[in-house]
Each structure stands twice: as structure tokens, then as C-alpha cells.
Chain A
Amino acid sequence: MKAFLPSLTRRRFMQGAAAIGALSLAPRPMRRALAAPLRTPVLSGTEFQLEIGPVPMKVTGRHITATGINGQIPAPILRWREGDTVTLAVTNRLSEPSSIHWHGVRTPAPMDGVPGLSFRGIPPGETFVYRFPVHQSGTYWYHSNSGFQEQTGVYGPIVIEPKIGYAQRFDRDYVVMLSDWTDESPDAIVSNLKFQSDYYNYGQRTLGTFIEDAQRKGLSQTVADRLEWGKMRMSPTDILDVSGSTYTYLINGQPPGANWTALFRPGERVRLRFINGSSMSIFDVRIEGLPMTVIQADGNDVMPVTADEFRISVAETYDVIVQPTADRAYTIFAQAEDRTGYARGTLAPRAGMAAAIPPMDPRPMRTMTDMGMGGMEHGEMPGMELSPEGKRLEGKVGVDNVAMMPTERLQRAGEGFPSGRCVLTYADLRAKRPGQDPRPPSREITLHLTGNMERFLWGFDGKKFSEAEPIVLQRDERVRFVLINDSMMEHPIHLHGLWSELENGHGEYRPYKHTINVKPGERLSYLVTADEPGRWAYHCHLLYHMETGMFREVRVV
């Protein structure tokens, strides 16, 4: 069952095998710095035994006891085949309850792995046997849904081979799992944020940026801008709540210095399966000098679309194909959205090669569009009024802003990209097949994504999970979810158990997603067919947003 995958007929499925060669050439300090084993094992078949337990890690130089699966961070790649029924015996060797959720995989509700909704969790020392048929293919991942274990290492990739074979031709196949590592305990992080929500933000406006802005835009406009943000008690520099000041960003468990490497022969088509397994980090991914053809999003095939870069929110996956023709190394560069650090790996024809690491792009700033002002300045909004729903939310403890004019911006990648770079947008995603449910929605459910940055609490419609009732859907009902992001942070919203079909202008060819990133001040919608009964988690996948309240139960009855 446990095997390092041999080469497949035409393609090879690998996980940084080349990096071992690279390591022997690495200078000694770098070798010592390597924390996790370089090769993430692949487990394939239909029967799996997984053990969640303590794992020693050394990423920054400090010895930390993290949590992993089968002694690995990331956990082993699980390789399934569409049409099989898989059995996974998960044993908890931690001293606290644990669980595994199969992210994006459509299972019966009792197999979904959310303590308190699908089951009671896995107590210490006990084993829970998951068993479910696999009716889909693509790139997914799995992670703990208990406490902060996802932050401390309980996450790993899932690759499901399609029954009818791949629609795309490729010669090599690599998983590129991005994550964020910290030596701090997650409890300390959330406690710090509760006391000082900008604790990890060292990119704030200062006297220095005031002088720069005044020279560029003039003094009066700079003062007016500072006053406008100050009046709202908001900072346009809030990009990611937890930053590179505590995080080290990893590719397949390797910090940038370890240079995780994937091999190719010039001219080969290389499939890279990007998974964002971070707790709090959104990445902008590019490969310098190599355009990427995006072929799959969240496990579902899309019409191939070529881009220089894509933004991958927490819990999303993108599969791309690249075809490097030159006999040289290419840097896989995944910079955090707030530009406080990056994950880095290399595509190379031979082990031990490296290409230049590009400088990080300028740090983005929030705008009035992100505040739901529709791109208008305050002064230009005569007669604008909040909706009755907005008025009801405004001023509540859990709500620090209500978007007055939320805008749909699916055709925009977000802020922070230099002009001239071709960046993937949600509007570019066109499903390869038409949707399976042609019915129009029978009703709409509108939810505001709300938060109080200062108090660091998050929710839907101003309510934390503990204050809210479940959202009830009738079995096989077709509904439209409309999300309005009132807050100034991105929220990757994940609905368990059911597909979210993003309404992005492609008619019947809506992309099926499991996680939909909603930009600040954005309004978007997606369709859901409630074809699997049970109690499902529905939440922001930023771990500390979820744990501080941005979570609901969706109950299909």
C-alpha cells in the first residue's frame, strides 16, 4: 500500500525526488536547516492507515513539536482512483481530540470529518474508519478540522485519477503544496490578535509614508486620505492578519532556502498541482519566464487558460501545465499577498540548479473599493444610503463596516499586481463541461461577510457561529448564495459536501468550486444543489477567522 510511486507509463508522479540530489550540493548550514524529509511519500490504493501524531520540526532553527500524519508534514499524498471506494483508518496519537476532513471531496455527511457536525471527532488513542466511494477526480487536500491542528501541520494532498484518463497530455506530475509555518503556538497568535489586531502588521503607514505620499499627491490630499481612513478606524495596510513576521512560507514542507526542486527534460509538459494548505496566507504564484496554462481549479477541469500569475486563496487548488523548453532552472515564486515573505521552489533539468529569486512586488493597499464604496471617495457620494439590512448591521459589535456599494469584480485578480503581467481572474474560469443541474435557483440566500478587525471577531451577518442558527436547505433544492463582503479582508468561503457553482458569466459552464474567495467590498453569487443530506460546515477558510466565529452550519434536510 505504501509506495514511492514508480514512473507511470508516460508520466511520472513525483514529489520532489530531485531535491535529494539538490540537497547533497547544498551548503552545510542549509542542509541542517531542512526540517521535513525531502520526499513526501505517496500512498495509493483503496486502504489507508493514517496516524495523526506529534512530529518534531525545525524550520527556523528552533526545535518545535508540531502535529503531522505518519510522521510527515505535509502528510503523505493520498492517491485515489475515481470509482474506487476508499477506506481510511485514522488513528489519533495526539493527547487531544482530532479529525480529518477531506477538503473538496464529496462524501456522505458522517464521513466529512467535522467534529460537532458530522461526528464526535477522534478521541486520543482511538481510530475512526472513514469509508466512502470516490465519484470525482482532480487535486484536493485533507486536513484536521480540530482546533488549530491545521496550522501546526495536519494537512496533506489528495490526487484522484480520473476513470476515463486525463483530458490533458503531460509528462510529469508534481504536487506543489503551499503552507505557512510558525514557531508560535496558534493559541498565542489568536490571543495576540484579540489584544492587538495589527500585531503582525509591520507594513503600516508611518511618518515616512506620509512624507512620501505628500510629495507624490500633495499635502492636502494626503491629509484628507489619512483623515478618511482614520475616521473609519480602518487601516488600508491590513492585507493579511498574520504575516511573514511570524510565518515562514513552505513548498511541500520546505522553506525557501531548502529550494524544493522538481525535475524536467526540456520540452516536456509538466503538470503542477498547486494546493494552498495555509492557515492564513493567500499567495500570488508565478514561474519567472514560464507562462502557465491553468487546466483545473478546485479539482474540476476548466478550459485551458494561460496566465503569468495567479492568486490562490487559502484552501483553493489550481492545476497548471508548463512546458519549459530551455535547459535552465526556473524559480517557482509564491509571494504572500502582503509581500512579507514568499515560498520558493525550482523547476530544473538537473538536481542542484537554481535560478534567480525575483524581488517581491510592492505591497498592495486597500482602497475605498475594498471598503464597499464602489471606488468612489466619500465626498462624492451624495444621497447614498445603506440598505435596510445594512442599517441593521451597522454599529453592531461584530461589524466594523457595511459595504454601501459592493461591486462584483470577478474580472479583476485583486490588488497588488504590477501592470503588464497577465494574472488569472475568476472570470477566466470556464468549466469544461456544462453544469449537471440546469434548474434555475428557487430562492436566494444573501449573507454578509462581517467582522470587527479591532476586536478580531468574524462572522456572517454580524453573528458568530455560537450566536447563529443553521442555514436550512431542502433536499435537492437549487439555491443561489449571494455573498457581500462588508469587511476589508478576503474571505475564502468553503461549503462542505456540496459544490459551489460560481456565477462568473459563462452560463452553463460555471466552474464548480469548493472554496470561493470573496474580495473586500465584493458581491458575488454561486449556485448550490443540495443533493447530499446532512449537516455541513460552511465557513471562511482563514483559520483564525473561522475559529473566532466565521462559521455556519448548512443543514440539508
Chain B
Amino acid sequence: MSAFRNFWFTVALFAIATGAAAQTSAVPPAPGLEPGAMQPVMDQGIYAHAIFNQLEGRWNGSNTEFRWDGQGWVGTDYDKLWIKSEDTVSQGAVDDGQQQFLYSRAITTYFDLQGGLRSDIDSRPTRNWAAFGIQGLAPYFFDLEVTGFVSDEGRLAAKLEASYDVLLTQRLILQPQIELNLYSKADPARLVGAGFSDIDTGLRLRYEIDRKFAPYIGAVYQGKFGQTANFARQAGESTGDFRFVFGIRAWF
């Protein structure tokens, strides 16, 4: 059921990307121009893009999980609306589903301030959070997202995502990537313990057939820590899983 919901969420991501791609905004007149006059330049245009950083199968020798991690935005240079979506589908169940709806405002040269909602929607009980974070390009070209969350039940959480592109050639690109999650309180129903809960880190080698379409192969490690690892053990799940991945990085 929730897999179905998430499917529609993904469709929405696509729709935003393709539908609004070349729209321009109705711009208020710039200083000094009479109302109704044309603008000499359209520097307040609205753009829209979406990217699947991960759209992949994860194989550990016996079974394959399917995972996506994508985000899309629509907006101007300063103000954007975002959708971020990630999900893992394994053996019919949806795990680690997170969807975020955010508004972002450009605040410095390289960073946007973001705020909005996060919904954990998957096969386990749904949780809703308020989200607040930053996203941008850190020195030395690290793509960085740091987000803090407050749930409707008063829980706190934090999430850090970072990646880096190593150009082996102009088109062959190696990308180390890491995602870390932190929770203030345990949530046994979602198998989440307090403290550092889990890591998802990978190394992907992609070939950019063109900028927007790049098949890749790689390897990922999903690890669970502390109380989260205990919950996993009790549920008969693994606490550390090394998998080969194959997938497509694509943007629109």
C-alpha cells in the first residue's frame, strides 16, 4: 500500500520536472519601468529540475533490493519548493521511506536554508516531522545536506548527506556518498534506536553518456548502530549489509 503511495510521489517528482521546465514567471516591473512595459531581460525566471542520484538495484549475493533517492525543485534563483524522496523496497516491503516537502531560500553564495515537512511513509508506522536544514556546496566541492527534524511526538532527529565527484575522465566519475541518521529517542515500532542509528554509504562509478543520463555500478554498505542494531537483531534483520549496486543516475 505504501509502496503504491510512494510510486505516486515519484510520479509527482517527474511531473514537476517536466511540466515546468521552461516556464517563466509573471514578473513585477523592475524599478524605472512603466507598468505594462516589457522587461529587457527575464532574470527572474522559474526553473524546475529533478534528479535521481540513486535509482538502483542492491544485490548481496542472495537477494536484490530496489532503492531510489531523488529530489526535485521548482523555483527562482532565490526561492524554491523541493520534494525529496527516498525508499528501499526489499522482498515486497518498503523500508526507510522518507519524503520531504521543503521551501528553500538562498542565503549565501553556496547555501540554501530549507524548511518544511518530512513524512516517513513505508511498511512501518508513519511518522511526521517538521524539517529545517541547509543544502549546498561546501568548500572543496562537497555536496552537503544537513537537516534537523522535530516529530509530532516531540522526538528529535538529524540527517547528514554528503557526496563528492571524482572525475576519472570527463565522463567517468567516481562518487563516494554517505548518509547518517541520528535520533534523540527510540522508536521501536520503526526499529529505530536512540543515538546514531544508521549509515548508508556507497561508492558509485558512473559513465555520463550525456550529462543527464549516467548508468553506474558500485558498492554500498548499510550499517546499524547501538540500539538500532539491537532492534534489528531482535527482528531477525542484519545489522550490517554489504551490497553491489547497479543503477541509473538521471536528471531532467
Q: Does A65 contact B (CB under 8 A)?
A: no
**Which residues 197-219 in A have Cβ within 8 Å of B in the complex?**
199, 202-208
B contact residues around A114 at 8 Å (CB): 40
Q: B170, A206: Cβ atoms under 8 Å?
A: yes
Tell me, in angstroms, the Cα distance from A548 to B46 when the chains sit together: 11
Q: B110, A206: Cβ atoms under 8 Å?
A: no
Q: B109, A549: Cβ atoms under 8 Å?
A: no
- Nearest chain A CB to B53's CB is how many angstroms away? 13
Tell me, in angstroms, the Cα distance from A203 to B44 when the chains sit together: 30
Q: B30, A465: Cβ atoms under 8 Å?
A: yes
B residues engaging A (CB < 8 A)?
Answer: 21-22, 27, 30-33, 37-45, 47, 49, 77-78, 106-110, 137, 139-141, 166-171, 211, 251
Of the A-B pairs whose beta carbons lie under 8 Å apart in the complex, a sample of 28, sorted by A's number, is A115-B37, A115-B39, A117-B33, A145-B40, A191-B49, A195-B251, A205-B167, A207-B168, A208-B169, A230-B139, A233-B140, A233-B141, A397-B78, A399-B109, A454-B137, A455-B77, A457-B43, A465-B43, A466-B30, A466-B39, A469-B31, A470-B32, A539-B41, A547-B42, A547-B43, A548-B77, A549-B43, A553-B40
A contact residues around B49 at 8 Å (CB): 191, 194-195
Tell me, in angstroms, the Cα distance from A208 to B167 when the chains sit together: 9
Residue of A nearest to B50 (CB): A195
Q: B31, A547: Cβ atoms under 8 Å?
A: no
Q: Does A187 contact B (CB under 8 A)?
A: yes
- Nearest chain B CB to A546's CB is how many angstroms away? 6
B contact residues around A549 at 8 Å (CB): 41, 43
Q: B140, A230: Cβ atoms under 8 Å?
A: yes
Residue of B nearest to A198 (CB): B211
Q: Does A221 contact B (CB under 8 A)?
A: no
Contacts A191-B47, A191-B49, A206-B169 given: A397-B109 contact, CB under 8 Å?
A: yes
- Nearest chain B CB to A548's CB is how many angstroms away? 6
Contacts A465-B30, A468-B31 given: A115-B109 contact, CB under 8 Å?
A: no
Q: Does A516 contact B (CB under 8 A)?
A: no
Contacts A230-B141, A231-B139, A400-B109 given: A547-B41 contact, CB under 8 Å?
A: yes
B contact residues around A410 at 8 Å (CB): none
| Selected contact of B106 from candidates A227, A455, A468, CB within 8 Å | A455
- Nearest chain B CB to A460's CB is how many angstroms away? 12
4 new A-B contacts at CB < 8 Å, known A205-B167, A469-B31 = A464-B44, A466-B30, A546-B41, A553-B40
- Nearest chain A CB to B167's CB is how many angstroms away? 4
Tell me, in angstroms, the Cα distance from A250 to B94 when the chains sit together: 54
Q: B31, A470: Cβ atoms under 8 Å?
A: yes
Tell me, in angstroms, the Cα distance from A395 to B251 when the chains sit together: 29
Q: B106, A207: Cβ atoms under 8 Å?
A: no
Residue of B nearest to A207 (CB): B168
**Which residues 237-294 in A have Cβ within 8 Å of B in the complex?**
none
Q: A233, B137: Cβ atoms under 8 Å?
A: yes
Tell me, in angstroms, the Cα distance from A470 to B107 when the chains sit together: 25
A contact residues around B211 at 8 Å (CB): 192, 196, 199
Q: B43, A395: Cβ atoms under 8 Å?
A: no
Q: Does A236 contact B (CB under 8 A)?
A: no
Contacts A115-B40, A466-B30 given: A202-B170 contact, CB under 8 Å?
A: yes
Q: B31, A397: Cβ atoms under 8 Å?
A: no
Q: Does A160 contact B (CB under 8 A)?
A: no
**Which residues 525-557 in A have Cβ within 8 Å of B in the complex?**
535, 537, 539, 546-549, 551, 553, 555
Tell me, in angstroms, the Cα distance from A537 to B41 when the chains sit together: 10
Interface residues as binary, A449-462 with B (CB distance below 8 Å gives 1, 0 otherwise): 00010110100000
Q: Does A388 contact B (CB under 8 A)?
A: no
| Selected contact of A191 from candidates B22, B31, B168, CB within 8 Å | B22
Residue of B nearest to A399 (CB): B109
Q: Does A147 contact B (CB under 8 A)?
A: yes
| Selected contact of A397 from candidates B21, B37, B47, B77, CB within 8 Å | B77
| Selected contact of B167 from candidates A204, A395, A396, CB within 8 Å | A204
A contact residues around B141 at 8 Å (CB): 230, 233
Binding site secondary structure of chain B: loop
- Nearest chain B CB to A226's CB is how many angstroms away? 9
- Nearest chain B CB to A147's CB is how many angstroms away? 7
Interface residues as binary, A89-100 with B (CB distance below 8 Å gives 1, 0 otherwise): 000000001000
B contact residues around A464 at 8 Å (CB): 43-44, 77
- Nearest chain A CB to B99's CB is how many angstroms away? 21
Interface residues as binary, A168-205 with B (CB distance below 8 Å gives 1, 0 otherwise): 00000000000000000101101110111001001111
Tell me, in angstroms, the Cα distance from A546 to B41 when the chains sit together: 7
Q: Does A157 contact B (CB under 8 A)?
A: no
Q: B108, A395: Cβ atoms under 8 Å?
A: yes
Tell me, in angstroms, the Cα distance from A195 to B250 when the chains sit together: 13
| Selected contact of B108 from candidates A188, A194, A397, A546, CB within 8 Å | A397
B contact residues around A400 at 8 Å (CB): 109-110
B contact residues around A231 at 8 Å (CB): 139-140
A contact residues around B139 at 8 Å (CB): 230-233
Name the residue in B27, B41, B47, B106 with the highest tally of chain A Cβ atoms < 10 Å from its Cβ: B41
- Nearest chain B CB to A493's CB is how many angstroms away? 15
B contact residues around A539 at 8 Å (CB): 41
Contacts A116-B37, A466-B27 given: A454-B109 contact, CB under 8 Å?
A: yes
Q: A227, B39: Cβ atoms under 8 Å?
A: no
- Nearest chain B CB to A94's CB is how many angstroms away? 15
B contact residues around A145 at 8 Å (CB): 40
- Nearest chain A CB to B151's CB is how many angstroms away? 32
A contact residues around B38 at 8 Å (CB): 97, 115-116, 120-121
| Selected contact of B22 from candidates A187, A195, A469, A547, CB within 8 Å | A187
- Nearest chain B CB to A315's CB is how many angstroms away? 15
| Selected contact of B110 from candidates A194, A230, A233, CB within 8 Å | A233
Contacts A116-B38, A206-B168, A207-B166 given: A551-B43 contact, CB under 8 Å?
A: yes
Q: A116, B31: Cβ atoms under 8 Å?
A: no
Q: A465, B41: Cβ atoms under 8 Å?
A: yes
B contact residues around A399 at 8 Å (CB): 109
- Nearest chain B CB to A184's CB is how many angstroms away? 11
Residue of A nearest to B37 (CB): A116
B contact residues around A553 at 8 Å (CB): 32, 40
A contact residues around B251 at 8 Å (CB): 195
Tell me, in angstroms, the Cα distance from A121 to B39 when the chains sit together: 10
A contact residues around B39 at 8 Å (CB): 115-116, 466
Tell me, in angstroms, the Cα distance from A327 to B110 when the chains sit together: 58
Tell me, in angstroms, the Cα distance from A120 to B140 when the chains sit together: 46
Interface residues as binary, A374-389 with B (CB distance below 8 Å gives 1, 0 otherwise): 0000000000000000
Residue of B nearest to A145 (CB): B40
Q: B43, A555: Cβ atoms under 8 Å?
A: no
Residue of A nearest to B39 (CB): A116
Tell me, in angstroms, the Cα distance from A146 to B157 when the chains sit together: 50
Residue of B nearest to A469 (CB): B31
- Nearest chain B CB to A497's CB is how many angstroms away? 14
B contact residues around A457 at 8 Å (CB): 43, 77
